Amino acid sequence: MELSIEKQQFLRGLARTHGVADRKSSMHILSNVLLTAEGPDRLRLSATDLYLGVTALVPASIKKGGSIAVSARTLFDIAKNLPDGEVSWKLTDSHAVELRCGKVRYRIPAMPGEDFPPLPNPGDVDFAHLEAGILSELISLTQYSMSHDDTRPHLAGTLFEGDGKVVRMVTTDGHRLSKAERKVGGKASMMNFSMLVPHKGISELKRLLDDVKAAKGKGEEPVTIGIGTSGGHAFFRQEDLCLSVKLADENFPPYSKVIPSKQSRRIIAARGPLVEALRRISLVANDKSGGVQLMIEPGMLRIQSQNPEVGEGSEEVDVDYAGDGLRIGFNARYLLDALSALPHDEVAIELSGERDPGVIKPIGDNAEFIGVIMPMRI
């Protein structure tokens, strides 16, 4: 195997793949990135931890084909620090690669490409098309309430659904739930699907979307989404990237039963001042519970908390409300996570009784979001 490649292209491909390589696995090969010559002018970089797989294609001048696996971390660290210019790459007979860039030379141990585990192949999967901005927005609105407890796989992920007209993401950790959906139409081509994507897959997908957006800016290519014929893997493709995710074989909780159908109190508040007040008062909340009390009165929302070891605090926020009073407790972080995920200037807080869940909704365009938070006794 012998090739040459521009340093920035090499670094771009490694940046999009090295994070998936599993450095802690007992299988040493999984800590490597696989480099494979694709025809005369492209290099394919691949990495996997057996649950996630990612490939990136970058332009290169291939002089001699082949494949080789090299430590992902080592190669990425080297590429970051190389001077700008052309990088030459040559495989020696002793399963090591010689890398040169200007006056810099490295010799790095390598493993045979055929030892690298094969990544899932989408084959004849039918792909749906979705704007990258919509997909990224859905993740941003729901990722905060996703469980990261792998012992509860039915919660440690995101339910991702589409019915041809609407795409939807739902997450819950048992204490809170978020649901966001967007209508799709025009040139968007969507199919009916439902998948439970583990949290590692969602995090990697969001990272790749952000990376492509940062590199390309506005007008990025849409994402194509497909589910393997056996239903075991999902595939997300954008431009020269492909991410495969092993789906969770679990049943997501019936989330519609958790969302209150009707609340007796609706408070409208400016999101910014409400977030700032919650942050200030949460400073004296109990470290374990993080609880704060909301006292609702006509025209006013008082946030208060007290902790014998730290002190107490309260702050009043002007709101649009004319109903009966109510006192209810919540985990401040749960409120802040939901409010911080929203870009809207105004939000509605819907409540019923002190033991009933609270609902947060945005006010304004594209306000197809619901955040549900269970109350707590304080």
Phi/psi for 293 (5° steps) reads -105, 135
Render each residue's pLDDT in the chain as its tens digit; 378 residues.
999 999 999 999 999 999 999 888 889 999 999 999 999 999 999 999 999 999 999 999 999 999 999 999 999 999 999 999 999 999 987 789 999 999 999 999 999 999 999 999 887 777 888 899 999 999 999 999 999 999 999 999 999 998 888 999 999 999 999 999 999 865 455 678 899 999 999 999 999 998 878 776 655 678 999 987 666 999 999 889 999 999 999 999 999 999 998 999 999 999 999 999 999 999 999 878 889 999 999 999 999 998 888 899 999 999 999 999 999 999 999 999 999 999 999 999 999 999 999 999 999 866 699 999 999 987
**Could you tell me the domains of the chain?**
2-115 (3.10.150.10), 128-255 (3.10.150.10), 260-373 (3.10.150.10)
Looking at the DSSP assignment, which residues form a beta bridge with residue 107? 98
Distance CA 41, CA 246 (A): 31
What CA dihedral angle connects 139, 145, 150 and 154, to 10 degrees? -90
The CA distance from 304 to 315, in Å, is 7
| Residue among 66, 125, 71, 117 at smallest CA distance from 90 | 66
222 Cβ contact list (under 8 Å, min separation 6):
129, 130, 131, 132, 188, 238
Cβ count within 10 A of residue 170? 25
Burial of 272 (0-12, 13-18, 19+ CB in 10 A): exposed
* pLDDT recorded at residue 189: 56
Q: What backbone phi and psi angles, to 5 degrees, belong to 270? A: -70, 125
Q: What is the pLDDT of residue 128?
A: 84
